[in-house]
Structure 1
Amino acid sequence: MVVNKMTKFLSSKWKNYRFRFVPWVAINLHHKMKDNARIVPSAAADPLISASKVLSQLSNVIPFLVRPKKPEDSSETYSEKSRKIMFLKLGFSIERGPSPIPGGGTGVFVNRGKVRKGQVVALYPGTIYRSFEPILLASINNPFIFRCLDGTHIDGKDWGLSRLVFKSCAGRDRMGPREVADISWLTKNPINPLNVGQYVNNHTKVVSRN
């Protein structure tokens, strides 16, 4: 009985996780998943919001998030001030928190204001792997692997091996005192409140090809 329960548990986990396991996706994308995956004729036809609109919206808020941190500001206080800036510039703010749905895990919620149609709500931070770069180890037990239309993968997991890889890349590319990447998204209090897109709940058994 114990063996049967364990088998059913592992089978259930695998059925949901396999769509994030890169080798399985590569083998099955054009076969088993062909009828279910969203088909996009070209990269140009894929965006729901034009690149110019995205850039305009981000340019309206991100420059104001890059500001000196006062000695008396804790990481939590600094992050809360960032959310206030987001609200003033975009008309809404979001935060990451536990889902009210039983077993829903962590999600992203609008905690203030209202999101208008066509607005950028969140960004998907993480380590970028081009289509020819190995991602097998990073994809193991990782539900945060995001596959793009061109085969690029974004690893938005903020703990374990994924966390170490991102911090290592950020440290490697650092130019003197100037940081080339925001690593605060790896913490509970991101400087940029938009950097929580990897926690937007998308309970689906079909791999995303956005």
Structure 2
Amino acid sequence: MYPKRFIQLFIIFFITIFISLGIVSLFNVSGFWLQGILITIIGYIVLIIPLTTLTILKQRKKFSSNTDSNSDEVFNNTLAKVENVFVLATKSETGNLTASIVTFKQSASDDNVFFVVTGSDTERTANIARNGVAAVTTWYDEKTGARFSSKHVAASVIADDQVQATLQKHPEIKALDDNFNNHVIIQLTLDSALVESFRDQPIAVSF
């Protein structure tokens, strides 16, 4: 228990005892058992109200910290801790799932957009070209277990003449490869992500 919460509980308990004794004295209640019962009931009622209030406030604070604008900062902080490696899952036309390990590069202009360079003849390229969906999860940080994943990813294949135009708009992609012959660029746009770690509660981030 944190010292702050211990002090809060002590003050509430202290006030509760005096309120209970004051009410018993005010109505001139006599008898050991009757006094004990009334003090117990009154004390419980007086004690439960502030404790319930403190619990509700704590839960609201915890919820708000997981859903406010700081979630974007949490996402980017997590991204900075992990390697630029995705487990990229795609789905074939028949519904079969394929998972592969790929390196990625985050867009310099959009936090939720990532790029992957891969062969034009790979199964993941064919799957994304057919249905335009994917799922991703990053490696986790060894110290904190921080990572993020997303099942809500819009995926598209950038090929042929579009490759050079995309490289001009996003030169950061060149860090992934220096040879784009027979290669395509896969663009992954996350609608939302789940940030997790060993220490903290999961945080859902929407973009």
TM-score normalised by the chain length of structure 1? 0.23
Instruction: Find the structure with the greater CA-based Rg.
Output: 2
More strand by share: 2
TM-score normalised by the chain length of structure 2? 0.23
Using CA pairs below 8 Å that are at least 6 residues apart, which structure has the higher relative contact order? Answer: 1
